[in-house]
Structure 1
Amino acid sequence: MVENSPLDIEEIVRDSFDENETEQLAEKLDQLEPEEIAFALEAMPLEQRVGTWLTLEKEQQIAALTYMRVDARSNIFKQLETAQLHELVEEIDVDDLIELLDELPDAIYQYACSRLDQSEKRWLDQALTYDDEQCGRYADHDVLILSKNAKVRDAVRLFKKLTEDAEYQEALFVVDRTGRYVGLLQGIRLLGQPNHMPVVEFIDAEAPVVQGDMELDQGSDLVARSGYSALAVVDSEGKLLGRLSIGEALENVRRSLEGQFMHTAGLDEEEDLFAPIINSAKRRALWLGINLLTAFLAAWTIGLFEATLQQVVALAVLMPIVASMGGIAGSQTLTLIIRGLALGQITPQTYWTLMRKELGVGAINGVLWALVIAGITYLWFGDWIIATVISLAIVINICVAAFSGVVIPVWLEKMKIDPALSGSVILTTVTDVIGFFAFLGLGSLFLL
């Protein structure tokens, strides 16, 4: 996320409500980077957002849209006339079109495609062979390409053509006559070298390569860790598709982390802050409904022991402790496993080692806190049987929580379901049901 001072954003949003501040607003926006403009636009209600966006130059409009959340820019498109959309995409480049194509109306997308030249159409066709979670879809075509038969002087000449606003262009991408990627050539390695030397002599053999079918998160992480400003993206035949720069990689990592955070609440990271009420209500209703079903399941479990609760009121008082301890223990394990899955650190070879480790942690913490809770319960109610029942339930629930915290995200991953989105809901249900069943079941066994 681009860092902006709250005062700057507050001033820009305030000016967007005042028609007399239109000129000053345009001047302020003109001083911002596209990602900063996008951030400011997302902080505005829809009417002010569209009006402010229309004051930008066309290049700024497109650049800001590419940095905005999907839902936010989709809401802008819905407010524009067909003629405005035609004008917007008349000179759009293929990389920006790929970023926006899912939100553009089909007729506008077809019109934009008709404006592309043959090379851009070929790039677009290549990109669309990959899905929207693969690196090949978003390979940047703004690359410096050089033949492997070229000399140092050819590389130097190519570097001299760079403009001041060129980003992450510290290296050339060397290809053979068929377009197959040969290697990466950093400009700094050419300093002081004779002009007649072949460039293949200076190729960096250690530079990693991003495969086009690689997951975007995985490719972005590879670039971020590589130490290079950009890496080549190649197809299954080794042909150069484009590059993935460090700027784009870090943006992808940020979006992924934001997505994981939003998913813990059952929300979409692409959701617009000022989305229409009905749209937001529909999105959130699903997980509220799922949560209601799980709550009824826990309530049904409690209802099985209604007679026990009527005779031993202390159990009703202590029930939340059992569920809470299991829930916290499980969420700790769940968070750890989800992070491990996201980073690719959990494999079939390490799964059972990790399971034993988490069960061991659960057993130790379960016994430790069971003793503490048993002591407090005895001082409170003066009954060793109740104290024993809750201590056993705590041990059982924390161990089950540790087991579930490992199994649930791994199982969801295999089912192609995002663990960050669904894991916490399922885990809470398991710890509540098992906790109540163990506690009230033991209570019925020992107290009645």
Structure 2
Amino acid sequence: MQNSDRQEVIEDLLSKVDEGTPEVAQEIEQAHSLDDLALLLESLPVTDRVSFWEQLSPAIQLPVLAEMRADASEAIIRAVDEVRLHDLFAELDADTLLELQDVLTEPLLEEALGRMDTEQKQRYASAQQYADSEVGHWCDHQPLVVPAKTKVNVVLRLLRRVMPKYCDHVFVVDSRGVWVGAVPIHKLFGADGVLKISELVREQFPSLNAREDIYVSADKVASSEEVALPVLDDGGMLIGRLDLGTAYEMQAERAEAQIMATAGLDEDEDLFSPVMRSARNRALWLGINLMTAFLASWFIGLFEATLQQVVALAVLMPVVASMGGIAGSQTLTLIVRGLALGQISKSNLRPLLNKELQVGLLNGVLWAIVIGLIAGYWFNSWGLGMVIGAAIVANIISAALAGIFLPVILDKLKIDPALSGSVILTTVTDIVGFVAFLGLGTLFLL
């Protein structure tokens, strides 16, 4: 659903809610995918969200909840009558339960598990052996799998009955379930029907370890030129697969998380989450920003006498800080993306540093000349123009250094650079910019 279409649907829904007329949930449900319905629900105030969700077909109510962000789905679960929820969760499958387990109450979780058949319980238990950051927790446990001794004509009959999405290979295992390899489906057509499937196995088919990070695994699938990769445990047992659709979803989820993290927010933050919860989530980073602001102010205070005598310095200080902050954020964004894609290593860090320093020097000199001429003409002081120009060069170069080293160091410390890098970078560029500008002003203008 395009943004403009979604806005029209939301406005239409809200008008119908306000007027008290019947909703058109079924019509919207038929016209849009689960993803679109989830985004639509997240765009509505909580009361209207619950009302619209209750009018969806019971068959898709839980799948839509599973597609929504945790905070948004939790708001619906808290608002819906508990008896209704118990009825809905009577036929919950393991995959949907895995998506919703963090927002369910313990009684609902236990009841859902109790009503599952043996196969679904085993599926859920298998996923719980792995952390939710590991691919073994999220992989599809129903790939197209056949034993190595299976004849080709038997596999072809199976294909007529079963064909999962994102499937162009048959996965082959031995009698114990240990991974043997994969056979391209197109090779089965025209092959001798009495051949064993193992005789057609493709060599060196890539695989994923179940303990591997889900986002790393998603990147591997996306770059593998395969539509799905097998997921193996430490003993080589096939436990499932990660397909291209899921891999792209994971990459999009990571990108959204990084965008939200730059503002100190969780990717599950609901657009209409309760005021107290939103305030609590944001208060921490406001407090951290306050401390860094006081630190920058303390450095400015060291030059109080200079500011009293050369007022122009106070007027121009934001220019120095702003130029350094923008230059640093450009480098920081580039490095964070490189780290996320696995492109940054010890071997290419030095050339990358040299390149960014050259870019910083070139831009620093260019904009130092421009800003120096403007400041000199504005305040009729070419000495002031030279001082701010030198400060601009120093700050942009230091911003390039900080933009490279901060995310690398934070990543080594297992701290998300997308979350805290921008806050620290701003502090560094503010302090370097102010000290350079006011220090040079003290030396040359007084």
Name the TM-score, length of structure 1 as normaliser. Answer: 0.94
Residues in 1 aligned to 2:296 and 2:38: alpha-carbon distance in whole angstroms? 44
Residue 61 (structure 1) aligned with residue 61 (structure 2): yes
Matched residue, 2:252: 254
Matching residue of 1:108? 108
How far has the Cα of 1:323 moved from its partner?
A: 0.7
Q: CA deviation at 1:13?
A: 4.8
Give the letter for the 1:157 counterpart.
R
Shift of 1:51: 2.0
Q: Is the contact made by 2:25 and 2:56 (CA closer than 8 Å) also made in structure 1?
A: no
Letter paired with 2:403: G
What residue in structure 2 maps to residue 385 of structure 1?
A: 383
In the other structure, the counterpart of 1:11 is: 12
Q: Deviations over 1:226-271 (max 9, x none)?
A: 2322221111111111111211111111111122222222222211
Q: 1:287-436, aligned counterparts within 5 Å?
A: 287-436=285-434
Work out which of the residue numbers 438, 442, 445 in structure 2 matches 1:444: 442
Name the CA shift for 1:370/1:27 in 2 (closer, same or farther; >3 Å).
closer
C-alpha displacement of 1:19: 4.5
Q: Report the Cα offset of residue 121 of structure 1.
A: 2.7
Question: Which has the larger displacement, 373-382 or 393-402?
Answer: 373-382
> Any idea what the Cα deviations from partners look like across 1:146-205, whole Å, max 9, x if unmatched?
111111112111111137xx5223332211111112222332221122211111232333
Unmatched runs of 5 consecutive residues or more in structure 2 = none
**DSSP 3-state at the match of 2:96:** helix
Give how far 1:137 is off.
0.7
Q: 1:98 to 1:4 in 2, by over 3 A?
A: farther
Residue of structure 2 in register with 1:185 after alignment: 183
Change (3 A) 1:218 1:4: farther
Residues 301, 437 of structure 1: 8 Å contact kept: yes
Residue 57 of structure 1 and its aligned partner are, at CA, apart by: 3.0
**Residue 136 in structure 1 maps to residue 125 in structure 2:** no
Q: CA deviation at 1:18?
A: 5.2
> Aligned partners of 1:80 and 1:215: how far apart in 2?
35
How far is the alpha carbon of 1:387 from its aligned partner? 2.1
Give the corresponding residue for 2:217: 219
Per-residue deviation at 1:123?
A: 2.5
Between the aligned partners of 1:320 and 1:413, the Cα distance in structure 2 is 30
C-alpha deviation, 1:301, in angstroms: 1.4
Give 1:32-51 correspondences, 5 Å limit: 32-51=32-51
1:20 aligns with 2:15: no
**Percent of pairs with identical residues:** 47
Residue type at the aligned position of 1:329: A
Query: Residue 46 of structure 1 contacts residue 274 of structure 1 at CA under 8 Å; is this kept in 2?
Result: yes
Residue 160 and residue 51 in structure 1: after superposition, are their counterparts in 2 closer, same or farther (change >3 A)?
Answer: same
Native 8 Å contact 1:172 1:184 kept in 2: yes
Q: Do the aligned residues in 1 keep the contact of 2:10 with 2:44 (CA within 8 Å)?
A: no
- Secondary structure in 1 matching 2:172: strand
Deviation at 1:126, TM superposition (A): 2.3
| In structure 2, C-alpha distance between the alignment counterparts of 1:151 and 1:141, rounded to whole Å | 23
User: Comparing 148-157 with 55-64, which one deviates more in the overlay?
Assistant: 55-64
Instruction: Tell me the amino acid that sits aligned with residue 173 of structure 1.
Output: F
| TM-score, scaled to structure 2 | 0.94
Instruction: Give the drift of 1:404.
Output: 0.5
User: Corresponding residue for 2:158?
Assistant: 158
Take 1:21 and 1:235, find their aligned partners in 2: how far apart are those partners?
51
Kindly tell me: are residues 131 and 18 of structure 1, through their superposed partners in 2, closer, same or farther at Cα, counting changes over 3 Å?
A: farther
Give the distance between the partners of 2:301 and 2:90, measured in 1 at CA.
Answer: 65
Q: How many pairs are equivalent? A: 445
The alignment partner of 1:183 has SS state of strand
CA RMSD, aligned part only?
A: 2.0
Q: Is the 8 A contact 1:329 1:402 kept in 2?
A: yes
Distance 1:69 1:124 in 2: 21
Residues 83-94 of structure 1 aligned to structure 2 (within 5 Å): 83-94=83-94
Cα distance, 1:4–1:36 mapped onto 2, change above 3 Å: farther
Counterpart residue type for residue 160 of structure 2: K
- The farther-off stretch of 132-141 and 185-194 is 185-194
